[in-house]
Amino acid sequence: MDNKSKIKSQKLKWRQTLILCMCYVSAVYSAPALSRNEPAGAVWIHYPGDYEIWLGNEMQNRRTERGAFYPPFWKMDSHYVLVDFLKTVELSQAEEIEIYAEGRYTVRMDGRYLYDVRGKMTVPAGTHTLVIKVHHQAAPPSILVRGKTIRTDATWQVTIADNQWTDESGRPYDVSSAASRHPNAAASAFDDPTVLPSQYRMATMPQRAVHSEEKGKGLLVDFGRETFGYVCFHRLKGHGELNIYYGESPEEALATATCETLDRIPVDHSTPRTLTLDDSRAFRYLYIEQDPGLAFDSVTMLYEYRPLEYRGNFRCNDELINRIWDMAAYTLHLTTREFFIDGIKRDRWVWSGDACQSYLMNYYLFFDTDVTTATILTLRGKNPVINHINTIMDYTFYWFISIYDYYLYTGDADFIRQYYPRMKTLMDFCLSRRNANGMMEGYPGDWLFIDWADFPMSKEGELSFEQLLFCRSLETMAVFARLAHDDSQAVIYEQAVEKLKPALFSAFWSEEKKAFVHNRLNGIPSQQVTPYTNIFAVLMDYLDASQAQTVKQRVLMNPDALKITTPYMRFYELEAWCKLGEYTSVLKEIRNYWGGMLKLGATSFWEKYNPSETGTEHLAMYGRPFGKSLCHAWGASPVYLLGKYYLGVKPEKEGYKEFSIRPKLGDLQWIQGNVPTPEGDIQVYMDHKQIKVKAGEGKGTLYFNSRTKPKTDKGTVEPDGTGYRLTIVAGEEYSVKGSF
Amino acid sequence: MDNKSKIKSQKLKWRQTLILCMCYVSAVYSAPALSRNEPAGAVWIHYPGDYEIWLGNEMQNRRTERGAFYPPFWKMDSHYVLVDFLKTVELSQAEEIEIYAEGRYTVRMDGRYLYDVRGKMTVPAGTHTLVIKVHHQAAPPSILVRGKTIRTDATWQVTIADNQWTDESGRPYDVSSAASRHPNAAASAFDDPTVLPSQYRMATMPQRAVHSEEKGKGLLVDFGRETFGYVCFHRLKGHGELNIYYGESPEEALATATCETLDRIPVDHSTPRTLTLDDSRAFRYLYIEQDPGLAFDSVTMLYEYRPLEYRGNFRCNDELINRIWDMAAYTLHLTTREFFIDGIKRDRWVWSGDACQSYLMNYYLFFDTDVTTATILTLRGKNPVINHINTIMDYTFYWFISIYDYYLYTGDADFIRQYYPRMKTLMDFCLSRRNANGMMEGYPGDWLFIDWADFPMSKEGELSFEQLLFCRSLETMAVFARLAHDDSQAVIYEQAVEKLKPALFSAFWSEEKKAFVHNRLNGIPSQQVTPYTNIFAVLMDYLDASQAQTVKQRVLMNPDALKITTPYMRFYELEAWCKLGEYTSVLKEIRNYWGGMLKLGATSFWEKYNPSETGTEHLAMYGRPFGKSLCHAWGASPVYLLGKYYLGVKPEKEGYKEFSIRPKLGDLQWIQGNVPTPEGDIQVYMDHKQIKVKAGEGKGTLYFNSRTKPKTDKGTVEPDGTGYRLTIVAGEEYSVKGSF
């Protein structure tokens, strides 16, 4: 499933000017390729999803708060500690193989234990079945086997139940996903036998500070913009404690008593030498205070990053929008690590609701499917299910919905089929918690998040928002059940949707307010109209044209309606505006809201932004003066909005087998950019007189309006409602002229 | 729940002569007590059952076969890697506490994270809630906290879901079991903060060989009897490979090409020093061959054992029976380790069917409840259930039945209630696999074991034996559901029994054969009568008096019936003979069968014994010349039979609240012995003229027959059917005279 290499070899010859040059990114491109050992093709394999769960535990348990360990508060699962790997080989001649393992292993050939395997063995000519069984507690049991023809790869099978080579639902499967979807695979082919899987790390490169100055008893160091990595002290000498206070703002770094992260490092260097800290942190500023007995020459850092190709891009005539797109892309890059995380300073955790948005942005920027599936798998964990994902009911539903997005953008039906049992058991958990009305209310310990809001919002009774997401999750599961050939279960999901969808309207649609109300308690609907259900009903096409218009007027575009203050929910709000045709309004909002952060000096986008706040108010959150994350994945949504609604590209069938292009200028003079697809990309240019498109794969349709009769240099423009359409054949470049 | 210390302090003043002196055992008693740190009472605690699962993985993955790693073939589970521990304290004055953890931890007090805890902190006066959260992947997260009044103990709570202090079924619980039931607790109070839980090991003591002689190119060393531990070479010097071949027999040790276990150790000692091997092994003989460059002075070993008190004992006028009892006790001691294992040489695995018998023997010998619950928990593993326990259907059923035995002998209802959810989910798995007749047949991957037999035995269709065990398991679960206050579920189990029990008879009881037939395939009962179902129907009181008599005549005591050849099934067969009153026949069988092994020079009892075999035929099994285990737990059943059916002691209500004593001489002149109970013991003496009994607790009834009118020095003898009964009050010694 990994098409990276194919894509990397494609030359983007068309409109080279589109290629965005960002200093850090170009450096990533020029980093030397990691050495790969021969023969190619042998990779570390493990039980599907186990590496992701293990790595999720490792990464999320790296959070500290003022030096103290700060682990996640949800249940964390573990890998299987005893795993069998199987391969049947047919050899025309005997072959020597090397066996590498993370864990203690034993080899059976044709059912017989081999007593003298010490990392090497000879497989005789003929047909033979090899089974390698590995035990390891501290990290997932893994193997890498390589010979002339025998290599661990997607054709090996895996099991935790001796001689039962089936998945959780009893169907045969292989470890193809395990082999190709390694979360760090973007950094390496995961094929180095000298590096155990648990030892793989992300890439690093040195970065220098842009400014340093003495402040009080210490030194304030500025790295120029938000960054992430390991601080290095050069020619550090002496005995004493080194105190490093990290800040996303200078105020935070200088606030030694209240900054969110710090390190206190005991040093005992008799001769000057470099000290690189063990833990990576997020910061722009460092404030360093040391004991009098300590001295160092300079401070640099090792930037730690996921090597990613910027496959999507966007440019237009408005430099503010371009700057916003660039910073959104950088924000998404910083938060795209072993997994998609929320913010790099504080949590460094994987949250389903946040990730769901990162996935969508990723489809318009990196199209990195490894990090997407890794995030989906670590969020899911293992059975039995005892809590919602991240303990949040809405986050469970986003998990289902995000997998549908994954399927739509990538066409990866194998992934759906392989992990369908885990989807089904999570949905079983939801179904078992329905109330007498077939709706889901919070159980003790459940968190009903929806959004951080500045107005009071009830979480009691049946929340319309949760039922809406639940209904879409059930629709999603019906699709997956069909894909997994579990037709009887698909019928169960379809019937549940047929009951729940009308119940949504009868319970929560207010004919008086012409909108969905917030909740129903003891059978009585509330009078409060919050934006959330209404936004999502638009996005999910649950409303008819008339309902959509009243929702637009009374809720979405109503200046007196309740206000959203997080970029998290703004993501969906602005997407709904786009769906309702408000392209100019959305650009205006992007300029105001994201441009507002830029004006305040942001170098990445924030967890929350309230234009009415001033000064250090912008840094506070959760009752803490520097509690707010200034680099938060959900702040990067312009990448998604500009790609999907201005370049106008989206898949209509899974994996871009069919797609549509609906380019929109809004108030811009021209736009141009690339949208990545599984095996190529789609290139779009538009100004008031010309639209140019080219697609690398799939069957596309360009939809547009024109005040004059349009002309094309290829194909046939046909009328489509009040506008026009043009069929796009892969590999062909189209130019349409008209008045747009 | 741990009454060990109380019991150890009781002096066995009555009939001191009963105390059995075994050289190894007395040495265990005299071993110096492990140092215990102050204050007493603070113990390592962890998530209930997790240590047992982790230790089970560690121990069972120690198996090797001819030097190669040989892991179990069933699914192995893992501990939870992120665990919260909670305690609310009320302090009249501030108190400093020390915190020890296996894993990385963080402390919250009254909901607030504490940033500066470095192994110590002060809890202020007043009421405070402490939550310590620990992450550890390689071993179970554990803590030990101690202060003047604050100590980790049975009153702390534990959870894997933040702030939800409930068990798997949503009910609140504490970690009392986790704290008191540590599998190694017999070796240590598990209260040493300087030893992390994962570092605890069983006890060791040096042992010397009794004989050495040069044989061929090497040295044959005899340790005098079956033993277990780490081989030590003294003043070992030189460079080269040391090859150690282990044997339970001299033939095995000398068979360098086919012995079951061996070690090949590279040595590079420039000066002479002791080498103690890293891995412990089972053996009586060593055959050592070394490279010419190596020399050593002598070979000894470190015997590795679970320190156990021989609380039960048995003596009679027949020295052969006494020797058999001693050797059975030693066999059980060798196989009672971190868990009850099957054999010490080969598997070192935990098998539910084997363990079920070890538990029963243990109630008449060590009464070690720690090893019992540890074994039950590691066998169960975690959810989801995907296979039968050890993959064997009968072994799943033995698991349920053995927990009922545990409850009956110990009265430990807390254990039942705490782990009821795991029992229920395992039974859910069984119930989901019933066929249209409500019976259980094998699924692919299921092993239907029953017994090793020398005659052909079908495993197809519905096996009567499996249905019988299934029915008893359902009866057991009905009891547990009531104990756990899950009454609606109890009704489900009771209804299942009401259906299955009559179906057993209608499907398998043959009026022609007056016995149960073996199986039913495609609705047609087989004509084969195997002993198994018939034996268990007697043991479970499923037969009426007339059925029991025909089963006895036609199957159990019929010399032409199919023969049992394993001590495993002989256990149940002889118990059924006892139940049917064949006391003299059973003694005869014990003398023949176990005495037969003694005559062949056994120093512990074997996995299988066939009197018709000769010479090295006795060593072979599984098609391998030394495949048979010569120290197998299921060989120790005389300990159980002599305690339960000759001393005649058994609980009638849980935990010996009520009990019965039915002493029987069989063909013996006198018998005497002790049977341990939770808080004391029951002492019995009988000859043809006198019965003496004394009980440390509970309400007992002595049942006996007498040819003359019996007299007692205390209480009142009352008629009971054709015999008599006498009520036994705890602490009183009774002497009854008559003609027995």
Does B61 sit within 8 Å of A133, measured CB to CB?
A: no
pLDDT in tens, A488-499: 999 999 999 999
Work out the minimum CA distance from B271 to partner chain A, whole angstroms: 29
Does B71 sit within 8 Å of A135, measured CB to CB?
A: yes
pLDDT in tens, B157-171: 888 877 776 554 444
Place of tokens 């009426």: B544
Q: What is the pLDDT of residue A39?
A: 45
How do the residues of chain B divide into helix, strand and coil, expressed in percent and rounded to 5? 30, 30, 40
Helical ranges in A318-463 per DSSP H = 319-335, 352-363, 369-380, 393-410, 413-431
CA–CA distances in Å: residue B504 to residues A614, A711, B460, B488, B510: 80, 83, 16, 25, 11
| For residue B463, pLDDT beyond 70 | yes
What is the residue range of A729's domain?
Answer: 652-737
Q: Which of A57, A70, A162 sits opposite B73 (nearest CB)?
A: A162
| For residue B179, pLDDT beyond 50 | no
Check whether residue A166 and residue A227 sit in a common domain: no
User: What's the pLDDT band for B41 if we cut at 50, 70, 90?
Assistant: confident
Per the domain annotation, does B713 fall within a domain? Answer: yes
Lowest mean pLDDT among A489-493, B50-54, B588-592: B50-54
Per the domain annotation, does B439 fall within a domain? Answer: no
CATH number for the domain harbouring residue A276:
2.60.120.260
Does B137 sit within 8 Å of A137, measured CB to CB?
A: yes
Check whether residue B242 and residue B158 sit in a common domain: no
Check whether residue B101 and residue B221 sit in a common domain: no
Interface-testing mutation among B70, B78, B389, with chain A (most A C-beta atoms within 10 A): B78
| For residue B127, pLDDT beyond 80 | yes
| For residue B501, pLDDT beyond 50 | yes
Among A170, A198, A226, the domain boundary falls at: A198
Task: Note whether A130 and A156 are within 8 A (CB).
Answer: no
Does A61 sit within 8 Å of B82, measured CB to CB?
A: yes
Which residue type occupies A316? C
Work out the minimum CA distance from B605 to partner chain A, whole angstroms: 28
Task: Report angle CA B436, B437, B442 to the nearest 5 degrees.
Answer: 80
User: What's the pLDDT band for A166 if we cut at 50, 70, 90?
Assistant: low
Q: What is the pLDDT of residue A25?
A: 29
Q: Which of A73, A81, A113 sits opposite B78 (nearest CB)?
A: A81
Chain A residue with minimum CA distance to B65: A115
pLDDT in tens, B662-714: 999 999 999 999 999 999 999 999 999 999 999 999 999 999 999 999 999 99
Per the domain annotation, does A231 fall within a domain? Answer: yes
What is the spatial distance between Cα B713 and Cα B690, in angstroms, rounded to a whole number? 11
Work out the minimum CA distance from A331 to partner chain B, whole angstroms: 29
Check whether residue A193 and residue A228 sit in a common domain: no
The residues near B41 (Cβ < 8 Å, ≥ 6 apart) are B146, B151, B153, B191
Q: Which residue(s) pair with B661 in the sheet?
A: B649, B702
Does B163 sit within 8 Å of A386, measured CB to CB?
A: no
Q: What is the pLDDT of residue A40?
A: 54
Q: What tokens were used for B394?
A: 């009968």
Across the range A709-738, mean pLDDT stands at 97
Strand, helix or coil for residue A261: coil
DSSP B101-135: EESEEEEEETTEEES--SSEEEEPSEEEEEEEEEE
Length of chain A equals 740
Q: What tokens were used for B369?
A: 């409840």
Q: Which residue(s) pair with A589 in the sheet?
A: none
Chain B residue with minimum CA distance to A77: B80
Q: What is the pLDDT of residue A26?
A: 29
What is the spatial distance between Cα B450 and Cα B460, in angstroms, rounded to a whole number? 13
Considering only CA atoms, which of B503, B532, B518 is closest in space to residue B459? B518
Task: Note whether B636 and B361 are within 8 A (CB).
Answer: yes
Question: A703-715 burial by CB neighbour count: b if 16+ within 10 A, else e?
Answer: bbebeeebebeee
Q: Which of A79, A82, A138 sits opposite B71 (nearest CB)?
A: A82
DSSP structure class, residue A562: P
Does B67 sit within 8 Å of A82, measured CB to CB?
A: no
The residues near A559 (Cβ < 8 Å, ≥ 6 apart) are none
What is the spatial distance between Cα A700 and Cα A677, in angstroms, rounded to a whole number? 12
Q: What tokens were used for A427?
A: 């949905």
pLDDT in tens, A602-646: 999 999 999 999 999 999 999 999 999 999 999 999 999 999 999
Which residue type occupies A420? Y
Among A172, A198, A224, the domain boundary falls at: A198
Task: Give A133's contacts in chain B (Cβ within 8 Å).
Answer: 71
Chain B residue with minimum CA distance to A262: B115
CA–CA distances in Å: residue A468 to residues A123, A475, B270: 57, 11, 76
Half-sphere exposure of B567 (CA within 13 A, CB side): 35
Q: Which of B70, B80, B106 sits opposite A113 (nearest CB)?
A: B70
Task: Note whether B480 and B401 are within 8 A (CB).
Answer: no
Query: For chain B, what percent of residues have pLDDT higher than 90?
Result: 81
Does B115 sit within 8 Å of A66, measured CB to CB?
A: yes
Work out the minimum CA distance from A53 to partner chain B, whole angstroms: 11
Does B139 sit within 8 Å of A137, measured CB to CB?
A: yes
pLDDT in tens, A201-257: 888 999 999 999 999 999 999 999 999 999 999 999 999 999 999 999 999 999 999
Flag whether the ipTM exceeds 0.85. yes
pLDDT in tens, A353-404: 999 999 999 999 999 998 999 999 999 999 889 899 999 999 999 999 999 9
Give the pairing of strands A690-695 and A733-737: antiparallel
Per the domain annotation, does B324 fall within a domain? Answer: no
Does B66 sit within 8 Å of A115, measured CB to CB?
A: yes
pLDDT in tens, B441-459: 999 889 999 999 889 999 9
Task: Note whether B541 and B475 are within 8 A (CB).
Answer: no
Chain A, chain B: beta-carbon pairs less than 8 Å apart = 138
Per the domain annotation, does B714 fall within a domain? Answer: yes
Task: Note whether B465 and B507 are within 8 A (CB).
Answer: no
Check whether residue A194 and residue A68 sit in a common domain: yes
Does A116 sit within 8 Å of B81, measured CB to CB?
A: no
Which residue type occupies A126? G
Per the domain annotation, does A1 fall within a domain? Answer: no
Does A81 sit within 8 Å of B106, measured CB to CB?
A: no
Q: What is the pLDDT of residue B189?
A: 67
Across the range B90-111, mean pLDDT stands at 97
Can you list the positions of beta strands (E) in B669-716?
670-677, 680-687, 690-695, 699-704, 711-712
Work out the minimum CA distance from A560 to partner chain B, whole angstroms: 38
Considering only CA atoms, which of A699, A705, A719 is closest in space to residue A663? A705
Does B391 sit within 8 Å of A57, measured CB to CB?
A: no
Widest CA span in chain B = 81
Check whether residue B248 and residue B172 sit in a common domain: no
Check whether residue A125 and residue A264 sit in a common domain: no
| For residue B28, pLDDT beyond 80 | no
What is the spatial distance between Cα B664 and Cα B687, in angstroms, rounded to a whole number? 9
Q: How many separate domains does chain B show?
A: 3
User: What's the pLDDT band for A43 if we cut at 50, 70, 90?
Assistant: confident
pLDDT in tens, B68-99: 899 999 999 999 999 999 899 999 999 999 99
Q: What is the pLDDT of residue A160?
A: 86
User: What's the pLDDT band for A422 if we cut at 50, 70, 90?
Assistant: very high
Burial group, residue A292, by CB count within 10 angstroms (0-12, 13-18, 19+): exposed
Task: Give B171's contacts in chain A (Cβ within 8 Å).
Answer: none
Check whether residue A137 and residue A220 sit in a common domain: no
Does B162 sit within 8 Å of A391, measured CB to CB?
A: yes
| For residue A187, pLDDT beyond 80 | no
Q: What is the pLDDT of residue A188?
A: 52
The residues near B13 (Cβ < 8 Å, ≥ 6 apart) are none
Does A138 sit within 8 Å of B162, measured CB to CB?
A: no
CATH number for the domain harbouring residue B691:
2.60.420.10
DSSP B586-638: HHHHHHHHHHHHHHTT-SS--S---TT--GGGGG-BTTBTT-S-SSBGGGGTH
Mean pLDDT estimate for chain A: 90
Task: Give A260's contacts in chain B (Cβ within 8 Å).
Answer: none
Omega before B39 within 30 of 0, i.e. cis = yes
Q: What is the pLDDT of residue B10?
A: 32
What is the spatial distance between Cα B653 and Cα A506, in angstroms, rounded to a whole number? 59
What is the spatial distance between Cα A665 and Cα A655, in angstroms, rounded to a whole number? 26
Check whether residue A43 and residue A162 sit in a common domain: yes
CATH number for the domain harbouring residue A464:
1.50.10.10
CB atoms inside a 10 Å sphere around CB B31 = 13
Check whether residue A145 and residue A235 sit in a common domain: no
Does A106 sit within 8 Å of B68, measured CB to CB?
A: yes
Q: What tokens were used for A719?
A: 């009328």
What is the spatial distance between Cα A135 and Cα A138, in angstroms, rounded to a whole number? 10
Per the domain annotation, does A301 fall within a domain? Answer: yes
Among A518, A535, A562, the domain boundary falls at: A562
Widest CA span in chain A = 81
Check whether residue A92 and residue A184 sit in a common domain: yes
CB atoms inside a 10 Å sphere around CB B154 = 17
Check whether residue B167 and residue B260 sit in a common domain: no
Q: What tokens were used for B437?
A: 């007749």
What is the spatial distance between Cα B679 and Cα B367, in angstroms, rounded to a whole number? 10
Per the domain annotation, does B446 fall within a domain? Answer: no
Task: Give B80's contacts in chain A (Cβ within 8 Å).
Answer: 75-76, 78
What is the spatial distance between Cα A364 and Cα A646, in angstroms, rounded to a whole number? 12
Work out the minimum CA distance from B14 to partner chain A, whole angstroms: 50
What is the spatial distance between Cα A641 and Cα A644, in angstroms, rounded to a whole number? 5
